Structure 1
């Protein structure tokens, strides 16, 4: 390999790189660019900060591993800094003095990713951290890091030597060395296969299952680790669990679903395991392989911070008949046991389920809604009544009365309408998918279609998706003969779950949900004056509360689900939601432009990008500011959003497109009112955050990038 992962020019020792994690990351990105390994330091910094906004990268022991992939990175690299003073990166035990920026190109090869993951594994070893703190020169750092990512191969042991060692008396030292060598060999094998196995000391199996040491089979645990980027935490968590297994005398096998490749655990390994650990921040690939196994679930960082606790919990779950188990793609409904065993609580789980449905629904909304708006632009609003007839009765060689514009407008409108019609079925289908994996898709989509048919709309999709998912999950848990198991996911579960949810929706819940939906629509249509303004304030507050999180998505989903060009109230709600969602990035951009000294260099750069993000209705453009200083930024943005929402409703502004920001101004009814509301909210938000930062400068490192994730 011609390019080394780390060179002396990428090492900084005992330096002050800034007051907070954002400034440190920006400085490391600049150093990467100065060595010619990145074309744009700002792009690298933004990619790393985006990863920080998902969860903090600080780890126990005074280390931090910000990491990212970006097209601007040309060579896989490690940028190292030993900080003085320390800087907070969100670790539970305090600020970090050792920081590695792990930078990978967008399409980094598997070999490079294996090298980067090797470093991540070394960072869980206290002795390696001690050598990093003791190093006197950049050359020593480079040598140390090279030693862990490109280790010298172990000398081969001949058959004769192995026999001599086996026949020689075992001493404590020799036994320890053998165990450590065996463990190291297992870790080396893991680097190439993607599966990591622990090798406990020779006597551990006996103590675990047979106090007499009678040769009983040793207990084993299987685990899956995965983080959003798949570079660092995935492998650190895996090695932490393996090491914990060695300490507990338990065989731990980990499937790392990361960037350097993943070899699935064998069916026999899974069958022999007493329990499974899912330490992931993303979905588990092939979760159905673990069906029926007692499970402990957590985010990936818990496996790094508390691996011994998780191993103990897994062993306890393996002997607890009431423990949560894997069924399809989700836990069973053993709520109390799940909470006690460290699994995700049902409140968190329900939020994840609903957000899964919304996230899969949004592409249908964006594509369908924008096509409908473009259809209006070309053919006028009058095509909404007979676009289908225009498309079917005419062609490019036989144009309707309105000419080419009307025909193309009708085509775009019809395509958009068909895409938009999947909104509720997609919502319900992927809610069910989040609960029961693929067997839940068919009954979930069926529930959504029934909700549309009976007029239950968005609310019916939510309820129907939940019923379909849990029905599929319940059916999957039924005990049936082994020969019939293959029919369960493709025939039995979809058939009976669809029957259950369809019957419930038609016979029991359809009419009540339709009545609620109809009543809500009539109530919205009747709103005027102060009532409409109050609704605008509420929607504005929700859109700015968590900047793309569950509350923001709830307000947005409410707006798009009711969007109807023939319903003036729904068009006003859509306008209020979009305008309020544009406020946070624009307000932060304005504040950084007016009072740049109140912000770090990195924040000022983020402010420049936030102009375009806000104009495009991407609320997430304000996340870097909110993550660094949530107590000042979020209330200020909510104030601006409330003003904008109120003014949109007060002026009667409408919007027939669900996304696009300034790029769909053609779909705004009352553009002057929209611009006035947007400008007023932006000014109020900027003024509030500027005043808040002037009153008291935020303490350096006081808020980690993980803070926003808990909102």
Structure 2
């Protein structure tokens, strides 16, 4: 059945001016009735409103398709209005609906409404076709445009040999949730737009769904949605759009349209030093953040694995044997703690090494590693063996950036060397001179960085009850600001850095804050069902598991759909949990694990109370802010 078989001239109205969603529905119901499709106009309208109560039928991009399958309909039909100035139809993307089709289907017949809905959704994905309908000069032209589009006379999407017009690479610092959510969203948006897209994931387990040379050669454009550096050399000569991984989740359609646009400039690869730049030239702050996150993403497995092993050593030890040697009193505890300390001890060199590698590519790795080791040793010119100052995490971080930029300086300085010496640069000149220079600079700054660390440690240790509660609330709340984004990562990195310094209570507050958002949303979908759609309630059940596993990203779909209500609610709940964790004296030696490392937590019952109270606080605030779907 063709769309124009369902859409009569009498049920189309152009140039409509309506002030609300309700007024638009009334106008469409009148048109449907005028076309003779309805047996009971009031009952049909009730069916439309009942469907809207489950969630708005606005599909975004200026389009809405309300529909109902009820006994009040005599025969299947369509009605359409064009609202040039748009009307607020509660679209998920906040856009005003400019073209609205209404579908009527008799109860008990085949799913004509679903077939029509599918056809309309597919046709309206073409932005040019949508605009042509909006600007149609008459009802006859409106119907003719639909006929031509459905008959296939309009331009078909371009196909490539590989089948993909756009390719994407997604990567986040931890390589867990954001990476795969961005890839899934981009692929789904590509299907919606009729633009085949393949997404490569640079996740925690390595590269997944890798792009091939043939696919890259055939693609119209490339999207890099990443918060750490990826290999850009393979995209030389292609149109490249670079964005954050969060933009890959939230702005998929916009990125895809830019990737196929002729206005997007062609990327030119100028060597490893430019691999973090895009065609728009990244800002300094964004570049620094990506280098830092590259180090953090490689550091986390050492921190998490080593930290949990150390925590287990305390769990399996007997404090009464020798309190001064707690953690190594029994053979099993001693073995676990020794391994854990070795793994955890790699944290600082790995952080510095991969920051330097992000800046200067492979020649920066060894230089950064050594700089991180010098910072970890606390070496000074007065005491080269180290041990007299505590440079720690901050020192290693600085050493990574210093080492990376030293190697970049050496690369530029050695450009004029004869071609015959090219082979000795990476194996002799860069490591020899780079390691020497980074060691000298790091040794020089160690006393100053050590003084800063000692001052911060003294400040934290000297904090009274109220001050610590405030600190716990702040770092806990930060975990909910962007659910795995830069603010969340800043709080987490601060927690892991203090973990290395022996301040275990801060890490406890950080993890409590990160566990709350998914749990709070899951509780709200369970106890306040009328505020969520069926799909959201189903997703809410999964959030129980994600929250208990300390995966804050489970809250992202809800936050993206309703940020003004969800994010403040989660921040309040996380702040409550972080503050309570501090107030109850909870400590955490493991930097990850959620509820599964509960036995290794100091005051575990207090910690459970902090998480439960914080989660319910976030749940209740969200319930108060979010209206029932029926009332919307």
TM-score (norm 1): 0.57
What do residues 110-151 of structure 1 show as CA deviations (whole Å, max 9, x unaligned)?
xxxxxxxxxx9xx889689999x99999xx98x97xx989xx
Q: Does 1:533 align with 2:488?
A: no
Residue 253 (structure 2) pairs with residue 305 (structure 1):
no
Task: Give the Cα separation in 1 of the matches to 2:131 and 2:295.
Answer: 43
C-alpha distance in 2 between matches for 1:148 and 1:309: 16
Q: 1:287 is matched with which residue: 232, 235, 241?
A: 232
Secondary structure in 1 matching 2:574: helix
Distance 2:167 2:429 in 1: 28
Q: 2 CA distance for matches of 1:278 and 1:329?
A: 20
**Cross-structure match for 2:346:** 422
* Matches of 2:532 and 2:370, distance apart in 1: 51
SS in 2 for 1:326: coil
Question: How much is the aligned-residue C-alpha RMSD, in angstroms?
Answer: 4.9
1:563 partner SS:
helix
Gaps in structure 2 of 5+ consecutive residues: 8-20, 22-58, 65-79, 82-87, 102-121, 134-141, 171-178, 202-208, 379-389
1:450 aligns with 2:374: yes
Per-residue CA deviation, residues 452-498 of structure 1 (Å, 9 max, x unaligned), is: 11121111122111112222233333423333334444443343333
Secondary structure of the 2:451 match is helix
Alignment partner, residue 704 of structure 1 = none
Equivalent runs, 1:358-507 vs 2, <5 Å:
358-380=296-318, 406-454=330-378, 455-478=390-413, 479-480=415-416, 481-507=418-444
* Pairing partner for 2:570 from 612, 619, 637: 637
Residue 600 of structure 1: CA displacement? 1.4
SS in 1 for 2:440: helix
Task: Please tell me whether the aligned partners of residues 330 and 436 of structure 1 are also in contact (alpha carbons under 8 angstroms).
Answer: no
Q: Cα distance 1:559–1:584, how it changes in 2: closer, same or farther (>3 A)?
A: same
Following TM superposition, by how much is the alpha carbon of 1:367 offset from its aligned partner in structure 2, in angstroms? 0.8
Using the TM superposition, name which of 417-426 and 351-360 deviates more: 351-360
User: What CA deviation, in whole Å up to 9, does each residue of 1:24-66 have, x standing for no partner?
Assistant: xxxxxxxxxxxxxxxxxxxxxxxxxxxxxxxxxx998979xxx
Instruction: For residues 292-320 of structure 1, give each alpha carbon's deviation from its aligned partner in whole angstroms, at most 9, with x where no partner exists.
Output: x9997623866643468775755xx98xx
Deviation, 1:595, is: 0.8
Match of 1:596 among 515, 529, 537: 529
Could you list the per-position Cα deviations for residues 371-428 of structure 1 after superposition, in whole angstroms to 9, with x for gaps in the alignment?
A: 111111112457896699x7xxxxxxxxxxx6xxx21221111111111111112222
Q: State the partner residue of 2:484.
A: 548
- 1:517 corresponds, among 453, 457, 477, to 453
Task: Quote the offset at 1:446 in angstroms.
Answer: 1.6
Task: Check 1:419–1:380 CA distance in 2 against 1; reply closer, same or farther (3 A cut).
Answer: farther
For the Cα contact (< 8 Å) 2:479–2:574, is it kept in 1? yes
> What is the 5 A alignment of 1:254-269?
259=209, 261-263=211-213
> Aligned partners of 1:417 and 1:95: how far apart in 2?
62
**Mapped contact 1:451–1:461 kept (Cα < 8 A):** yes
Match of 1:159 in 2: none
When the two structures are aligned, how many residues end up with a matched partner? 481
* Alignment-derived partner of residue 56 in structure 2: none
C-alpha distance in 1 between matches for 2:590 and 2:198: 44
1:135/1:531 Cα in 2 relative to 1: closer, same or farther (>3 Å)? farther
SS at match of 1:562: helix
Would the alpha carbon gap of residues 498 and 304 (structure 1) be closer, same or farther in structure 2, given more than 3 Å must change?
same
- 1:522 Cα deviation from its structure 2 partner: 1.4
CA distance in structure 2 between the partners assigned to 1:641 and 1:484 by the alignment = 57
- Paired residue for 2:512? 579
**1:530-586 CA distance string (max 9 Å, x none):** 211121121111122122211112112212222269x4xx12112211222221122
Q: CA deviation at 1:676?
A: 2.3
- How far apart are the structure 2 equivalents of 1:645 and 1:519? 23
Q: In the alignment, which residue of structure 1 is the partner of 2:292?
A: 354
Whole-angstrom CA distance in 2 between matches of 1:384 and 1:129: 76
- Does structure 2 retain, via aligned residues, the 8 Å contact 1:540–1:644? yes
Residues 584 and 265 of structure 1: CA distance in aligned 2, closer, same or farther (over 3 Å):
closer
* 1:373–1:474 distance in 2 versus 1, CA, 3 Å: same
> For 2:421 and 2:93, how far apart are their aligned partners in 1?
50
The separation in 2 between residues aligned to 1:225 and 1:625, in whole angstroms, is 24
Which residue in the other structure is 1:684 paired with?
617
Quote the residue 2:28 is aligned against.
none
| Deviations 1:141-175 (CA, angstroms, capped at 9, x unpaired) | 8x97xx989xxxxxxxxxxxxxxxxxxxxxxxxxx
Instruction: Report matched runs for 1:96-245 at 5 Å.
Output: 188-189=160-161, 191=163, 226-227=169-170
Structure 1 residue ranges without an equivalent (≥5): 1-7, 20-57, 64-82, 99-119, 150-183, 197-222, 243-253, 270-275, 319-324, 391-401, 701-711
RCO comparison, higher one (Cα < 8 Å, 6+): 1
Mapped partners of 2:600, 2:483: distance in 1 = 24
